[in-house]
Amino acid sequence: LQELNDKNSSSGKARASVGVMTVTAESELVVKIVSERSTHIMDSVLAEWIFTIYYNKGDEYIFTGPYAVDNFDSDHFYLIPNLYYPLAEQRPALTITKYGNGSALAAAAIDGKVDVGFHLAPESITAVNSAKGVSVTSFEVEYQYMMFHNTDKPQLADVRVREAIDVAINRNAFPTELPDALPTRSMFPEASPYFSDGSNMAADTSAAATLLDQAGWALDGSKRTKDGKDLSIKLVAYPQRPGLVTLQLLIAQSLTDLGINVTSVVTSSESWDELDDLMAAGEYDILMWAQ
């Protein structure tokens, strides 16, 4: 329990759902958890990846689930049946493999190297589905794809520029590239009781142009300029969620058509370090995010 408390107090990601938790043992079989923010689904909170529950006995780690970690490296987890869990003798060993991007996952699936995989890019579905012995099942996951505007940047400090970017994007085009996507401006998923969105998903380029004119970004040829400088946007997406990169192309084109210079950046698929550093330094204008 001490390690659970330490993890929660030292990691912001561990406090994302319920804030600070204090975990104490009421008895041998009862644990009491007091959280900073209330929740009716503590089981779900404890299922988050950062709260893996185990018992540290010297140099030995005893896990509570059906599998234990035998070994791991940067791209693999090698799991063996947990001998302390019922029916261990009936379980095979498992290997969990991280692929750098959706294309690598698709290639491995086609080559028969994957038994079960997730996060297949939409453009790879047909090829993977056609491979012998492989089938693809699509299902909704209710992820929200969003864009964060860096208002510390001078051009985005003006709300009219942010509004122009918003109305210039044709959200109705998103499902063409991401099947079953639901265009929305809502911060909450459709299944949530907080979902509310009656806005127009089509692009309004005329309104966008007017807003930029009002903000002083005049159209000079094909570019929007102000005080001798072009209106430029650094648009960042991360490939660990392939759909973000797909939508990045559509959004970049919409903004380019409006006269904005767009620099599209896709961070490394090998780790989160580049994205973390970029966010910490504020080196982006618009950051695409999935939550």
pLDDT of 138 higher than 90: no
User: pLDDT tens digit string along 90-114?
Assistant: 999 999 999 988 889 999 999 999 9
Give the mean model confidence (pLDDT) for residues 218-232.
96
Position 232 pLDDT exceeds 90: yes
Q: Tell me what pLDDT residue 1 has.
A: 65
Q: What's the Rg (C-alpha) of the chain? A: 24
pTM above 0.75, yes or no: no
**pLDDT tens, 261-291?**
999 999 998 888 999 999 999 999 999 999 8
Q: What's residue 278's pLDDT?
A: 95
Is the pLDDT at 197 greater than 80? The verdict is yes
At residue 62, the pLDDT reads 76
User: What pLDDT score does 126 carry?
Assistant: 92
Which of 108-122, 142-156, 204-218 is modeled with the greatest confidence?
204-218
